[in-house]
Every structure is written in structure tokens, then in C-alpha cells.
């Protein structure tokens, strides 16, 4: 006897084994037991199975719960003043070099406790959840000392414990050089390698380690040292790469079997080939592209050519992507980067799961996967990216339970 049987629905399984666009099964049904999907198919195929609860969905579409695989959701303060400066003509890089940008948020973040950080992030998380998010990656990177980074990661864990959402925490150790290390870059790197990573690994506070490989961030050599250390502590790696310039970060990440390279506006074919060989995911972040009024688009054609899976995420952060709507990112991935609606949805489901090494657990509607689902009042799945910020599902189910 199953716990729940969802009927009277159309299903965008996003499972490549289902040969229709969106892996669609019309007039389908989903059997759920112990928080997992046990069966999915046409209603007629599931007839004769009994469940404690039969849920009629009035012809709605069911998708996997959305997965936001790149966010900086936890931070102190906000950067609306910097937004105004940029409108007056200052560039993101100029503001960063003048001691604003990320470092501005570092000051506000260090001043807050883990509890206060979680409180500040809560409305943002709730907005993402209303938009359909059932799993969210959350990076640190605004603490930049061991205690403050740990406080950020504890805030992320607390958010996951208090809400029906899965949280995947990432230590973004090399985000910006903290002001107190301005003339001692190497000392900061040593702090990260000798203290921060071991502490975070020991406490089990993060699943992965990330860095910002950029002229205003960290050099490929510094990132290499970080990745060596992370790997030795059995932490996976990922990289903000090729956002504002090309430092061959994607290829470097591939050498360390990274989960993903993210942004990638300036990536070239060699980098993408390396990503393909390493089985990496390309995480596209249209919110940051839009907010910075960028003109160079990520090389989507090359990603398709080399069959690198594309994920799409909000990059929710106070500086370059104050985005609170996952469905807006589906739309922008299509309008700005020319993804198809099916590619965009795969980017926030199946491929986002892979970017978090959770592809065995979530991301498609298939037997054995966790029953993390969204129920949408739409006529066709393409509608999810057609609306410029669809308001969200009518039902969100996490581990089989309405959430
Ligand atoms: O993903 N690129 C670096 N990190 C963030 C921006 C962080 C900030 O400006 O606060 C990003 O775009
Ligand atoms: Fe980011």
C-alpha cells in the first residue's frame, strides 16, 4: 500500500528515458511511499495500485521540484546604494576596486550572528520556495574569516532545518580578499588552507568548496592551491569562472573533477571541451548577466555542441543578482541566452541536481527518486518560462508531503 497516489495530472518527468519533450507523460499518475517516488506512468498503467490518499490534480502539470544550484542567499545588509552608483555610471569592477562590492557585504555579515543571518535570509528563502524551489545551494563567502564563514554555513543549515527545503552548503572561501589582508594575500590563502577548510570539513558544514577566479577575485594559481586542499579533505569543488574575463578557470576546474563551472560568459571552446571530458555542469546565471548589463553571452552553442549539461540558477546575492524568482530565471535563460523552455527547465531540475552531485536523489520524476514535486496550473510546461516570472506552483511537495 502506497502513501499517496497523484492522479488527474500531466507529468513533465524531465527523465531522459521518457522519449517525449520534457519527458512528458500526459494523463499520468505518480505513486509515492516513504517520501519517494515508487512508480510513474500513465494513469491506466498505475490502475489497481492502492494508496492511503488519492490526490486529484485537476489536469495540472507536475514537474520535479525546482533546484536552485547557485545562490549566496545568506548575507548581512544589502547593496541598494551600490545599485544607485552603478546607475550613475560606476562599474561593478570599479566599485570592487574602491573597497565596495563584496567587501561592503562582508562588513555587514561579520556584524551579524548566525541567528540574525538566518533571520535576514528567511524571507528570501521563502520567496524562492514560493517560486517552486525545493532544493537550494547556499554559499558562504561574505565572512572571510573562519568564525564568520562558519556562522554563514550554520545559518544555511538552520534554514534547511526550519523549512521544508533541502539545503546544499558550499564554502566560498576565495570570494574577495578581506580588507585586513590587503597587503598580505598569501597570509589569507594560508588562513584558508591551514584553518578554514580543515575547520569546515571537520564540522561537516559544507559539501563543496568554491572560489571566484577573476581579476578582481583570485588567480588560477591561488584557486589551484584551494582545490588541492579541498580535495585532500574530500570536499568537491566548483568555480565562478569566466564571468568578466577568461582566466581559463573552466579548464582548471576540470582538472580537479569539479562539479560545475558557473557564469562562463567569457568561456572558450577549449574550456568547454575540458568541462565535457570531466563530466561537469555549466551553471548559467542570467540574473547577474542582466543586473550587470553584460553584453557577452555564455557560449550556449558550444555547450550544446560538446554536450555539457546546462543548469540555470538565481545566483541570489546582494551585489550582482538580487533575484528572488526562480521562474524569472527560466524566462531570462530563454530570452537572454536563447535556451529552449525545455533546456531551461532541465537547467533547474535534472542538470541542477547533477551540479550538486544529487542526481541519484532528485531532479527527475522517476522511481527511486525523492518525491520533491511542484504542481503548476499551466496548460503546457513551456509556460513556466514564457511568463516573465511565473508566480509559482499551486502545490509544492517535499519528500512526498505538501510543504
Ligand atoms: O556570483 N562573482 C562573484 N560573486 C557573486 C557576486 C557577489 C557580490 O557582488 O556580492 C556572483 O556574481
Ligand atoms: Fe555567485
158-214 pLDDT, tens digit per residue, is 999 999 999 999 999 999 999 999 999 999 999 999 999 999 999 999 999 999 999
Tens-place pLDDT, residues 3-20: 999 999 999 999 999 999
Q: Distance between terminal CA atoms of the chain?
A: 22
Closest CA to 324 of 122, 170, 153, 81: 122
Q: Which ranges constitute the DSSP H helices of 111-181?
A: 114-130, 146-162
Tens-place pLDDT, residues 244-279: 999 999 999 999 999 999 999 999 999 999 999 999
pLDDT at 366 over 90: yes
22 lines ligand 1 (CB under 6 A): no
Measured by CA distance, the residue closest to atom 2 of ligand 1 is 212
Tens-place pLDDT, residues 302-357: 999 999 999 999 999 999 999 999 999 999 999 999 999 999 999 999 999 999 99
Ligand at minimal distance from the CA of 318 is 1
Cα–Cα separations (whole angstroms), residue 193 to 184, 200, 255: 15, 11, 19
393 lines ligand 1 (CB under 6 A): no
**Residue 71 Cα, ligand 2 centroid: separation in angstroms?**
6
- 133 contact partners, CB below 8 Å, separation of at least 6: 65, 66, 67, 68, 165, 326
Q: Check: pTM over 0.85? Answer yes or no.
A: yes
In sequence order, what are the beta bridge partners of 370?
A: 36
Measured by CA distance, the residue closest to atom 3 of ligand 1 is 212
100 lines ligand 1 (CB under 6 A): no
- 137 contact partners, CB below 8 Å, separation of at least 6: 68, 69, 70, 71, 167, 168, 169, 170, 313, 355, 356
- % of residues, the chain, pLDDT over 90: 99
- Could you tell which of 102, 138, 213, 215 is best to mutate to test the pocket of ligand 1, judged by most ligand atoms within 8 Å of the CB? 102
101 lines ligand 1 (CB under 6 A): yes
Amino acid at each position: 500500500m502506497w502513501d499517496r497516489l497523484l492522479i488527474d495530472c500531466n507529468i513533465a518527468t524531465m527523465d531522459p528515458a521518457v522519449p517525449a519533450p520534457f519527458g512528458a507523460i500526459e494523463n499520468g499518475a505518480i505513486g509515492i511511499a516513504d517520501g519517494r517516488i515508487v512508480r510513474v506512468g500513465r494513469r491506466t498503467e498505475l490502475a489497481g495500485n492502492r494508496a492511503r490518499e488519492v490526490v486529484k490534480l485537476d489536469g495540472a502539470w507536475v514537474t520535479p521540484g525546482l533546484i536552485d544550484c547557485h545562490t549566496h542567499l545568506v548575507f548581512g545588509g544589502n547593496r541598494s546604494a551600490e545599485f544607485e552608483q552603478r546607475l550613475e555610471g560606476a562599474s561593478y569592477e570599479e566599485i570592487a576596486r574602491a573597497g565596495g562590492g563584496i567587501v561592503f557585504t562582508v562588513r555587514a555579515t561579520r556584524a551579524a550572528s548566525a541567528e540574525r543571518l538566518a533571520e535576514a535570509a528567511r524571507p528570501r528563502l521563502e520567496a524562492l520556495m514560493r517560486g517552486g524551489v525545493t532544493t537550494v545551494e547556499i554559499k558562504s563567502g561574505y565572512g572571510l574569516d573562519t568564525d564568520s564563514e562558519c556562522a554563514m554555513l550554520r545559518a544555511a543549515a538552520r534554514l534547511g532545518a526550519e523549512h521544508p527545503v533541502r539545503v546544499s552548503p558550499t564554502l566560498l572561501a576565495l570570494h574577495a580578499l578581506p580588507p585586513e589582508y590587503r597587503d598580505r594575500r598569501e597570509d589569507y590563502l594560508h588562513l584558508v588552507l591551514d584553518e578554514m577548510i580543515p575547520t569546515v570539513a571537520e564540522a561537516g558544514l559544507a559539501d563543496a568548496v568554491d572560489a571566484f577566479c577573476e581579476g578582481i577575485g583570485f588567480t588560477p594559481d591561488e584557486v589551484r592551491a584551494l582545490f588541492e586542499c579541498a580535495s585532500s579533505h574530500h570536499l568537491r569543488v566548483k568555480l565562478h569562472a569566466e564571468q568578466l574575463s577568461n582566466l581559463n578557470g573552466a579548464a582548471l576546474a576540470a582538472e580537479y573533477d569539479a562539479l560545475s563551472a558557473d557564469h562562463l560568459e567569457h568561456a572558450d571552446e577549449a574550456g568547454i571541451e575540458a568541462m565535457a571530458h570531466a563530466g561537469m555542469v555549466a551553471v548559467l546565471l542570467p540574473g547577474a548577466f542582466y543586473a550587470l548589463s553584460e553584453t557577452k553571452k555564455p557560449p550556449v552553442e558550444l555547450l550544446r555542441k560538446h554536450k555539457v549539461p546546462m543548469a540555470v540558477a538565481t545566483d541570489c546575492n546582494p551585489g550582482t543578482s538580487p533575484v528572488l524568482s526562480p521562474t524569472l530565471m527560466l524566462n531570462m535563460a530563454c530570452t537572454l541566452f536563447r535556451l529552449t523552455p525545455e533546456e531551461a527547465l532541465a537547467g533547474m531540475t535534472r542538470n541542477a541536481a547533477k551540479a550538486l552531485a544529487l542526481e541519484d536523489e532528485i531532479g527527475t520524476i522517476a522511481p527511486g527518486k525523492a518525491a520533491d514535486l511542484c504542481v503548476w496550473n499551466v496548460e503546457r510546461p513551456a509556460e513556466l518560462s514564457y511568463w516573465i516570472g511565473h508566480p509559482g506552483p499551486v502545490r509544492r511537495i517535499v519528500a512526498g508531503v505538501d510543504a
